[in-house]
């Protein structure tokens, strides 16, 4: 169908004075008995185009189905607008109604809705200004991520979603099975007989593509993944999802410093890309939700991230005199209140914390000489806390193998991973960026459920 997107009406001066054809969903209709004004949105931009219906040309009867939420096709003359805040409007010549939306049952009437209400209407919320803006920004960020890595010569590697290994070792995996749960096959000792399952072994949805990413990096040099990951942690927080998207670059011949440099350059690139390409949407969100949004985004771009060891970070927290909900001491896994204290109060800019105690980090991280810490790095952001987690990887076969044994990780699941250290092992590093945490930061939204179209959280898999 031939139509002009609304976004193009506003950025193509040559269209003024021409006949245009637009299609979209009605946001509002108002007016008097001589003229009616319809605000039309087609999702291409936060902006609505105003359509002017002269009631000498259109009857009440014709306009009656044009209510909030209905979908219409209008042709008319594009003219410069007198009204404040809009550069062009359309003088309607023809009207076709595609689909009506009963005002008594369509849930998104023009009054402002709470984000909680809209979560219950997640199937329709993309039609609101807020979610239109968030989803356009999300799309732009996804493109920026591919652009960044492709321009650097990284290869996009597709790692499996169904796996038999637990990368993070946290055991928070969703099992995948075709066994009949009401009639499970058993082995002689009474445990479930997974040899009878679809894959002939116990499988789950992946928590991370990193282990396969390392196979890619130690062949192609530098790869990135970008796909869904799954965690069955029962953490009902504004920063956790059971299904989230992660970007995991993995690079051969990178040490921890190279890794930090890349992580910093990468997030800054994404934020700058959004500021350059999503200005209208970001300005809208700033105005609606977060007056400091743009200055916070620019603030992150302006300065180098602080780089600090976990040990020094804990010292600052201990000496701060601040009363935290969770105790802080060397060895403690930092909570987001601790991370945010360092970033928002102490340094007032993003912090990369390194060299964490080995007992709170995954098995694959490079062990430091002190025998106590590993070459981990977490990037901590204002409002978010941890946005990136990564490390230099243990490249030494014996050290890695010993760690796997110490942690009782079943070797039969890990033989292929260990081959990267058995054959042509190289120093290498990587990290994972939680995509929704980046979208949270860039949009200024405060709940991760509001930056993914259909959130998956404990007790919620609607839509
Ligand atoms: O720190 P994490 O667990 O690290 C890994 O999975 C490594 N394999 C990454 C790597 O080195 N390749 O997760 C990485 C990031 C976190 O920093 C956070 O931003 C995000 O993923 N994340 C979550 N985002 C939303 N919901 C959850 N439940 C998340 N868990 C982690
Ligand atoms: Mg982490």
Nearest CA to 449 out of 264, 200, 156, 237 is that of 237
By residue count, the chain amounts to 463
Lining residues, ligand 1, CB within 6 Å: 167-168, 208, 210, 231, 233, 240-241, 244, 246, 248, 386-390, 430-432, 434, 436-437
Task: Estimate the share of the chain in helix, then strand, then coil, as percent rounded to the nearest 5.
Answer: 35, 25, 40
What is the residue-averaged pLDDT of the chain?
A: 96
Is the pLDDT confidence value at 83 over 80? no
Nearest CA to 200 out of 219, 218, 216, 177 is that of 177
Protein residue with its CA nearest to atom 18 in ligand 1: 434
Lowest-confidence pick of 85-94, 122-131, 325-334, 357-366: 85-94
Give the residue, out of 141, 145, 242, 246, with the most ligand 1 atoms within 8 A of its beta carbon, to mutate for a pocket test.
246
Protein residue with its CA nearest to atom 20 in ligand 1: 434
Contact 94, 74 (CB under 8 A): yes
Query: What are the backbone angles phi and psi of residue 453, rounded to the nearest 5°?
Result: -55, -50
Nearest CA to 251 out of 227, 219, 228, 226 is that of 219
Is the pLDDT confidence value at 401 over 80? yes
Protein residue with its CA nearest to atom 19 in ligand 1: 434
Protein residue with its CA nearest to atom 30 in ligand 1: 240
Is the pLDDT confidence value at 150 over 90? yes
pLDDT digits (tens, 9 = 90+) for 222-235: 999 999 999 998 88
394 Cβ partners below 8 Å, 6+ apart?
364, 365, 366, 367, 374, 400, 403, 421
pLDDT digits (tens, 9 = 90+) for 1-18: 999 999 999 999 999 999
pLDDT digits (tens, 9 = 90+) for 288-340: 999 999 999 999 999 999 999 999 999 999 999 999 999 999 999 999 999 99
Q: What angle do CA 258, 261, 262 make, to 5 degrees?
A: 85
The first and second tokens of residue 409, run together, are 């990780």
Ligand 1 atom nearest to CA at 242: 28
pLDDT at 86: 66
Residues facing 94 on adjacent strands:
75
Q: Give dist(CA 150, CA 297) in Å, integer.
A: 24
CA of 183 from ligand 2 middle (Å) equals 38
Residue reference for tokens 């970007």: 247
Residue reference for tokens 């038999």: 164
Protein residue with its CA nearest to atom 27 in ligand 1: 240
Q: What is the pTM of this model?
A: 0.97
Q: Give dist(CA 163, CA 320) in Å, integer.
A: 43
Ligand 1 atom nearest to CA at 438: 19
């Amino acid at each position: 169908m031939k139509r002009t997107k609304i976004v193009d009406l506003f950025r193509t001066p040559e269209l003024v004075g021409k006949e245009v054809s637009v299609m979209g969903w009605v946001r509002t209709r108002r007016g008097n008995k001589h003229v009616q004004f319809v605000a039309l949105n087609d999702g291409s931009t936060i902006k609505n185009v105003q359509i002017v219906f002269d009631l000498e040309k259109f009857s009440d009867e014709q306009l009656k189905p044009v209510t909030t939420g209905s979908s219409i096709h209008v042709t008319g003359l594009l003219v410069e607008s007198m009204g404040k805040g809009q550069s062009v409007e359309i003088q309607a010549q023809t009207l076709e109604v595609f689909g009506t939306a009963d005002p008594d049952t369509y849930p998104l009437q023009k009054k402002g809705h709470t984000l909680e209400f809209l979560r219950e209407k997640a199937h329709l919320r993309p039609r609101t200004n807020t979610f239109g803006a968030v989803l356009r920004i999300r799309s732009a960020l996804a493109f920026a991520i591919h652009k960044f890595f492709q321009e650097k010569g990284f290869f996009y590697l597709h790692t499996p979603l169904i796996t038999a290994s637990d990368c993070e070792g946290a055991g928070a995996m969703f099992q995948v099975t075709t066994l009949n749960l009401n009639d499970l096959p058993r082995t002689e000792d009474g445990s479930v007989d997974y040899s009878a399952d679809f894959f002939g072994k116990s499988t789950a949805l992946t928590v991370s593509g990193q282990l396969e990413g390392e196979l890619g990096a130690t062949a192609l040099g530098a790869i990135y993944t970008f796909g869904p990951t799954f965690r069955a942690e029962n953490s009902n927080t504004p920063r956790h999802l059971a299904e989230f998207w992660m970007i995991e670059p993995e690079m051969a011949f990178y040490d921890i410093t190279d890794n930090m440099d890349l992580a910093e350059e990468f997030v800054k690139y994404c934020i700058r890309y959004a500021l350059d390409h999503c200005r209208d949407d970001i300005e809208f969100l700033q105005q609606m939700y977060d007056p400091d949004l743009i200055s916070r985004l620019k603030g992150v771009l302006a300065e180098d991230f602080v780089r600090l060891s976990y040990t020094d970070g804990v010292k600052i927290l201990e000496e701060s005199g601040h009363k935290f909900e969770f105790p802080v001491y060397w060895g403690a896994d930092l909570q987001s209140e601790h991370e945010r204290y360092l970033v928002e109060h102490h340094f007032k800019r993003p912090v990369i914390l390194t060299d964490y105690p080995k007992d709170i980090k995954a098995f694959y991280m490079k062990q430091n000489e002190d025998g106590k810490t590993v070459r981990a790095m977490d990037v901590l952001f204002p409002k978010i806390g941890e946005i990136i987690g990564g490390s230099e990887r243990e490249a030494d076969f014996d050290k890695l193998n010993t760690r796997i044994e110490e942690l009782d990780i079943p070797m039969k699941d890990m033989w292929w991973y260990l081959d990267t250290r058995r054959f042509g092992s190289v120093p290498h590093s990587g990290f994972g960026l939680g995509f929704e945490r980046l979208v949270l930061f860039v949009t200024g939204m405060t709940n991760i459920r509001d930056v993914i179209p259909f959130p998956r959280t404990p007790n919620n898999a609607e839509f």
